[in-house]
């Protein structure tokens, strides 16, 4: 029975959410549905984490746990296959936390609250579905499900040049998925036989074990899939949707988008491009190392000259997400571990940033740092939270950013040739640039004299704002203080990938 | 003559029966009961549609001029379903001032064209094929001219008439060339045999080019699409929707039959490359022209031009998956396109607005209509979880099966074009949901038949893709066709 698999509930609960919202009329009902369902998601994600670790501790070393297969389109051997390893478990946890925080942060959304949450629920269904599947067709379907609600969420509830940004974001991401689709079709037709006797398979594990894709095809498919996912991971030069999109999106959508959606890109590159096409990954990684290296440095420099708070964080996201892809391309365990940690860390702290920016903007009605100052005196709670997010971003020990970046740079430095060294050193320099733009904002925005006397009447955070931010801060500190727990969860997941890569040399 | 062979033509007989019932009733009933034609036609046709799903036999009649097989019944049933939705959506228009005088004639014309399309699909002899083609085209011109008091309607009818005649003439010219190559027979099988034996002559290339051009007009493939926008705009919206889905769907399948069963032997030598060029031009130019349209009917005309290009991908794939995906694509396209046209009609009937600019802020006054429209355009653009996503992906999967690099490039171009199409489909969504202007269309309650039609379309859009057994059913019948040698000539 399909419902007995716990992973399916990550899709069923958003479906219940959609159905519930369709029936709701009043704001209180809408909030009830959203809160109940997002807490339920959080609960099963938490239970999954615990149970997963327990199973690993009990000696279950299978590559994917909780697997299930249900035939869908029999003529093409398309199945709904689910399964998780440590990485997906953490990603599910991250998504659940951010969906919860995003729901709470958009407590007073207007206009059309019901429609907002309908699209929000559809988006989260796509995200959860993406992380539970191990079948490239269903994975791609959920990927696209997650992308399209962004158009309406930004277009209807956004601010500023929202129509332009929404269109740009949607078309660029869909453009990426067009390349991705071709890559996936190529993988399917060269995948080799399926375990149940069909001639081709969509299942990631089976494709990886068959290893039947010829070298020539890999050279063609690897750029397709990597660029396809890389667009969502804000890889230079396909990152231009990200600043505009984030700047115009409403708070909860920025949170979910920077926090989770951009992780789909990194996760996809890792799970599909690198895992399934190892020969091409070994041979062509250098091209993408150059591109992601540029992303890291360029994103950080761009953030330095922005004056809009959201643009600063959007460019900072380009830099940090570039680091995720950069680390994945180093093709060794340590760097990849760092990449996963960076995904979690970036997801949480960017969500926190965007939540805080939304809260500040809701009060001051401006995001221009030149028109604000001394907010620490006026709203100390939000000020402190902003500082914590900033410190996490520039890598203060004890917070998540430090752990992630250190692991990435340690891992990257293991590649001893000159080419890698140059790019790793360049990427490391971005830490300094990050400090520049974070401290500049903190100094101008929070400390210093009050710029605008009208701001003195503003109030500090409300209870739901506190709840939303505290959830995120707790998670950031937890990763920063107990990184070993993360390490234990994901350590088994890299083995098959690294083995695949080594065998392909 | 053995009259029992008429019984193999069950679906044709069904449509003919409905035609006769409507015709006789319309002729002999009293003036007061004439409005009963509408429910009569719909109920009878619904019965035929349901009956059609049970016609799964294989058979041939008239010395092999006419054949039927499960896959042929399948495509006919799908077209029936589409025509039924068109009939349901047409009710408010047919009851309005323009339509009510000649209510019966509308149904009679529609059933005749449907009958013609069925013959076209089932024909295995070019004489029967031409009879089908003509009876599918000429009554349609009369339907296009149905809005008696509208200048545009007449203009569109004349344009449609001329292009239909012209395209038939070109098609027949091509067929006469093929005839010249053969040993004096117009049976598909005989022609195919002489083509397979004969050399790759200039005459054959010309003939195939002419045949493709003739079909190109019917399917409005670029560069034979120039009539489409004007005719779609001028025709009554009901007729436009009929033209864009049923007429196109039947022509596409007939095209597949002719190319595979007559010209299959010279697939890679001659027409594969012609089709590549046609598909790329059709998808790209259709998309680029759609971007600039403000009139919804013209907009949908160019959108359907580019959709026809995607349907053609199923033909160049030339395998079971391609055929299955093509039929499935037609099915999904029927539901999505009729969804869009349903909303256009509902708004046009109540208020007369057809421009995209008039749709601004529609969600404030008519949330359900904008919701249905959003679903339908998302499905047309290929957004999951709606059916259009599955039909697009499956047709791409079918096209890439052979693994040739050329087909991969073709699919890549088609995929990039989906982005362009997404742009203009989103323009509609943007007008309805995002534009800050005050709504132009006032709040109204659309007729219950229109709502019913839209409900069917929305249900189809949501469930056709998720419920995979429909695709499985189509695959089953296509596989039967393949084992009976549908693709035998292609090698």
Among A271-280, B54-63, B390-399, where is mean pLDDT lowest?
B54-63
Residues B257 and A47: their CA atoms lie apart, in Å, by 56
Alpha helices in A68-161 (DSSP H): 86-105, 113-132, 136-147, 149-157
A491's tokens:
């350590």
Cα→Cα distances A491→A209, A269, A338, A495, Å: 20, 18, 11, 8
Residues B361 and B346: their CA atoms lie apart, in Å, by 16
**Structural contact between residues A114 and A81, judged by C-beta atoms closer than 8 angstroms:** no
- pLDDT tens digits for A16-44? 988 888 888 888 888 888 889 999 999 99
Residues A124 and A10: their CA atoms lie apart, in Å, by 9
- Which residue in this structure is represented by tokens 């680091």? A323
**Structural contact between residues A451 and A374, judged by C-beta atoms closer than 8 angstroms:** yes
A164 touches chain B (CB under 8 A): no
Stretch B109-136: mean pLDDT, rounded?
Answer: 92
Cα→Cα distances A156→A31, A144, A355, A465, B386, Å: 20, 20, 19, 23, 21
Stretch A231-244: mean pLDDT, rounded?
Answer: 87
Percent of chain B topping pLDDT 70: 98
pLDDT classification of B64: cutoffs 50, 70, 90: confident
Stretch B467-490: mean pLDDT, rounded?
Answer: 88
- What is the full DSSP assignment across A162-212? HHHHHHHHHHHHHHHHHHHHHHHHHHHHTS---TTS-S---BHHHHHHH--
| Contacts of B40 by beta carbon, 8 Å cutoff, 6+ apart | B21, B22, B25
Q: Searching chain B, which residue's CA lies closest to the CA of residue A177?
A: B415
Residue B9: per-residue pLDDT: 87
Beta-carbon separation of A181 and B393 below 8 A: yes
Interface test with B, best of A182, A188, A213, A228 (most B CBs within 10 A): A182
Cα→Cα distances B48→B14, B190, B452, Å: 6, 34, 19
- Which residue in this structure is represented by tokens 């802020």? B361
- pLDDT tens digits for A413-463? 888 888 888 888 888 888 888 888 888 888 888 887 877 777 777 777 788
Angle between helices B320-351 and B248-261 (to 10 degrees): 160
Alpha helices in A270-332 (DSSP H): 275-276, 278-305, 309-329
- pLDDT tens digits for B78-120? 999 999 999 999 988 888 876 667 788 889 999 999 999 999 9
Residue B420: per-residue pLDDT: 92
B283's tokens:
């998808």
Distance linking the first and last C-alpha atoms of chain A: 42
Residues A139 and A91: their CA atoms lie apart, in Å, by 14
For residue B60, give the 3-state DSSP assignment: strand
Q: Own/partner pairs for A409-416, CB < 8 Å, 24+ apart?
A: A409/A338, A410/A334, A410/A335, A410/A338, A411/A327, A411/A330, A411/A332, A411/A333, A411/A334, A411/A335, A411/A336, A411/A337, A411/A338, A412/A326, A412/A327, A412/A330, A412/A335, A414/A330, A414/A332, A414/A334, A414/A335, A415/A330, A415/A331, A415/A332
Residues A94 and A7: their CA atoms lie apart, in Å, by 15
**Structural contact between residues B114 and B249, judged by C-beta atoms closer than 8 angstroms:** no
For residue A4, give the 3-state DSSP assignment: helix
pLDDT classification of A7: cutoffs 50, 70, 90: confident
Q: Searching chain A, which residue's CA lies closest to the CA of residue B388?
A: A141
pTM for the model stands at 0.93
Q: What ipTM score was computed for the predicted complex, to two decimals?
A: 0.91
Percent of chain B topping pLDDT 90: 53
For residue A39, the tally of other CB atoms under 10 A from its CB is 13
B237 touches chain A (CB under 8 A): no
- pLDDT tens digits for A178-232? 999 999 999 999 888 888 888 888 988 888 888 888 888 899 999 999 999 999 8
B329 touches chain A (CB under 8 A): no
For residue A5, give the 3-state DSSP assignment: coil
Cis-peptide into B385, omega within 30 deg: yes
Percent of chain A topping pLDDT 70: 100
- pLDDT tens digits for A131-173? 999 999 999 999 999 988 889 889 888 887 888 899 999 999 9
For residue A67, give the 3-state DSSP assignment: strand
Residues B142 and B158: their CA atoms lie apart, in Å, by 9
Residue A73, pLDDT > 90, answer: no
A448: left (phi over 0), alpha (psi -120 to 50) or beta: left
B419 touches chain A (CB under 8 A): yes
Q: Using CB atoms, which residue from B415, B426, B429 is nearest to A181?
A: B415
Q: In chain B, where are the structural domains located?
A: 3-490
pLDDT classification of B199: cutoffs 50, 70, 90: low
Min CA distance, B339 vs chain A (Å)?
20
Q: Using CB atoms, which residue from A72, A141, A163 is nearest to B384?
A: A141
Residues A167 and A218: their CA atoms lie apart, in Å, by 32
CA B89 to chain centre: 17
pLDDT classification of B458: cutoffs 50, 70, 90: very high
Strand pairing category for B59-61 and B66-68 = antiparallel
B301: left (phi over 0), alpha (psi -120 to 50) or beta: alpha
Name the strand (E) or helix (H) holding A80. strand A78-84
Cα→Cα distances A294→A299, A323, A328, B307, Å: 8, 10, 15, 39
Q: Using CB atoms, which residue from B321, B383, B423 is nearest to A144?
A: B383
Cis-peptide into B223, omega within 30 deg: yes
A138's tokens:
């269903």
Interface test with A, best of B327, B363, B368, B385 (most A CBs within 10 A): B385
Min CA distance, A72 vs chain B (Å)?
6
Residue B444, pLDDT > 80, answer: yes
**Structural contact between residues A408 and A339, judged by C-beta atoms closer than 8 angstroms:** yes
Give φ, ψ of B144 to 5 degrees.
Answer: -65, -35
Q: Which of B234, B66, B390, B291 is nearest to A72 (CA)?
A: B390
- pLDDT tens digits for B240-294? 999 999 999 999 999 999 999 888 888 888 888 889 999 999 999 999 999 988 8
For residue A84, give the 3-state DSSP assignment: strand
Q: In chain A, where are the structural domains located?
A: 2-504
Residue B453: per-residue pLDDT: 92
């Amino acid at each position: 029975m399909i419902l007995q698999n716990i992973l399916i509930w990550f899709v069923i609960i958003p479906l219940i959410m959609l159905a519930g919202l369709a029936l709701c009329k009043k704001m209180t009902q809408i909030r009830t549905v959203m809160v109940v369902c997002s807490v339920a998601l959080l609960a099963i994600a938490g239970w999954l984490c615990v149970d997963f670790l327990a199973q690993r501790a009990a000696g279950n070393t299978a590559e994917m746990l909780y697997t299930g297969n249900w035939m869908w389109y029999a003529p093409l051997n398309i199945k709904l296959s689910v399964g998780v390893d440590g990485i997906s478990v953490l990603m599910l946890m991250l998504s659940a936390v951010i969906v919860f925080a995003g729901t709470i942060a958009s407590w007073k959304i207007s206009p059309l609250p019901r429609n907002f949450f309908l699209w929000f629920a559809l988006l989260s269904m796509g995200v959860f579905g993406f992380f539970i599947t191990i079948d490239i067709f269903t994975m791609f379907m959920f990927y696209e499900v997650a992308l399209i609600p962004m158009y309406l969420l930004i277009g209807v509830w956004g601010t500023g040049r929202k129509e332009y940004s929404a269109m740009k974001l949607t078309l660029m991401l869909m453009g990426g998925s067009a390349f991705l689709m071709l890559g996936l079709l190529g993988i399917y037709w060269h995948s080799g036989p399926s375990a149940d006797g069909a001639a081709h398979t969509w299942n990631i594990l089976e494709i990886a074990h068959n290893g039947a894709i010829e070298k020539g095809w890999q050279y063609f498919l690897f750029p397709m899939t990597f660029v396809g996912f890389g667009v969502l991971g804000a890889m230079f030069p396909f990152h231009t949707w990200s600043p505009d999109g984030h700047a115009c999106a409403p708070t909860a959508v920025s949170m979910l988008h920077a926090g989770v959606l951009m992780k789909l890109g990194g996760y996809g590159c890792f799970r599909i491009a690198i895992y399934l096409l190892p020969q091409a990954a070994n041979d062509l990684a250098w091209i993408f190392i150059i591109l992601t290296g540029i992303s890291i440095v360029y994103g950080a420099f761009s953030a330095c000259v922005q004056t809009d708070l959201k643009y600063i964080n959007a460019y900072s996201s380009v830099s940090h997400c570039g680091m995720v892809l950069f680390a994945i391309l180093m093709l060794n365990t340590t760097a990849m571990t760092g990449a996963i940690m960076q995904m979690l860390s970036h997801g949480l702290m960017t969500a926190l940033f965007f939540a805080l920016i939304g809260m500040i903007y809701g009060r001051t009605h401006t995001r221009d740092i030149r028109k604000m100052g001394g907010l620490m005196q006026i709203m100390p709670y939000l000020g402190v939270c902003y500082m914590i997010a900033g410190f996490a971003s520039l890598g203060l020990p004890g917070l998540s950013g430090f752990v992630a970046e250190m692991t990435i740079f340690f891992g990257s430095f293991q590649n001893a040739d000159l080419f890698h060294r140059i790019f790793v050193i360049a990427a490391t320099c971005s830490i300094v640039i990050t400090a520049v733009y974070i401290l500049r904002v903190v100094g101008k925005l929070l400390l210093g004299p009050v710029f605008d006397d009208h701001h003195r009447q503003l109030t500090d955070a409300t209870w739901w704002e506190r709840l939303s931010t505290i959830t995120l801060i707790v998670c950031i500190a937890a990763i920063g203080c107990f990184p070993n727990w993360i390490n234990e969860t994901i350590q088994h997941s890299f083995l098959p990938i690294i083995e695949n890569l080594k065998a392909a040399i | 003559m053995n009259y029992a062979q008429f019984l193999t033509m069950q679906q044709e007989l069904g449509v003919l029966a409905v035609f006769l019932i409507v015709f006789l009733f319309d002729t002999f009933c009293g003036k007061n009961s004439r409005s009963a034609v509408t429910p009569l036609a719909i109920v009878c046709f619904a019965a035929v549609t349901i009956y059609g799903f049970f016609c799964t036999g294989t058979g041939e009649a008239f010395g092999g001029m006419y054949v039927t097989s499960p896959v042929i019944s399948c495509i006919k049933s799908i077209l029936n379903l589409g025509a039924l939705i068109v009939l349901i959506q047409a009710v408010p228009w047919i009851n309005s001032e323009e339509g009510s005088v000649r209510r019966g004639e509308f149904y009679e014309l529609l059933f005749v064209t449907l009958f013609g399309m069925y013959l076209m699909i089932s024909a295995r002899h070019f004489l029967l094929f031409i009879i089908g083609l003509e009876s599918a085209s000429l009554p349609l011109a009369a339907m296009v001219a149905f809005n008696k008091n509208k200048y545009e309607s007449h203009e569109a009818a004349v344009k449609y008439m001329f292009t239909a005649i012209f395209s038939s003439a070109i098609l027949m010219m091509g067929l006469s060339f093929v005839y010249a190559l053969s040993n004096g027979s117009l049976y598909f099988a005989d022609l195919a045999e002489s083509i397979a034996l004969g050399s790759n002559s200039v005459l054959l290339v010309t003939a195939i080019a002419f045949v493709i051009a003739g079909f190109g007009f019917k399917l409005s493939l670029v560069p034979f699409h120039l009539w489409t926008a004007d005719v779609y705009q001028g025709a009554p919206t009901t007729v436009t929707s009929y033209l864009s889905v049923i007429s196109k769907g039947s022509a596409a399948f007939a095209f597949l039959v002719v190319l595979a069963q007559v010209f299959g032997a010279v697939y890679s030598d001659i027409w594969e490359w012609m089709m590549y060029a046609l598909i790329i031009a059709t998808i790209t130019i259709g998309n680029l022209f759609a971007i600039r349209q403000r009139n919804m009917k013209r907009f949908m005309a160019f959108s359907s031009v580019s959709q026809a290009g995607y349907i053609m991908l199923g033909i160049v794939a030339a395998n079971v998956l391609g055929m299955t995906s093509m039929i499935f694509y037609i099915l999904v396209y029927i539901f999505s396109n009729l969804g869009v046209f349903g909303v256009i009609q509902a708004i046009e009937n109540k208020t007369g607005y057809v421009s995209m600019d008039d749709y601004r802020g529609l969600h404030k006054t008519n949330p359900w209509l904008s919701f249905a429209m959003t679903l339908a355009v998302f499905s047309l653009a290929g957004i999951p979880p709606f059916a259009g996503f599955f039909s697009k992906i499956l047709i791409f999967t079918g096209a890439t099966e052979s693994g040739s690099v050329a087909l991969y490039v073709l699919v890549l171009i088609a995929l990039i074009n989906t982005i362009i199409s997404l742009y203009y489909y989103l323009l509609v969504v943007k007008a309805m949901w995002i534009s800050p202007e005050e709504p132009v269309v006032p709040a109204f309650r659309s007729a219950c038949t229109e709502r019913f039609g839209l409900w069917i379309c929305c249900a189809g859009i949501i469930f056709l893709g998720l419920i995979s057994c429909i695709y499985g059913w189509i695959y089953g019948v296509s596989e039967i066709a393949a084992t009976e040698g549908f693709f035998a000539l292609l090698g």
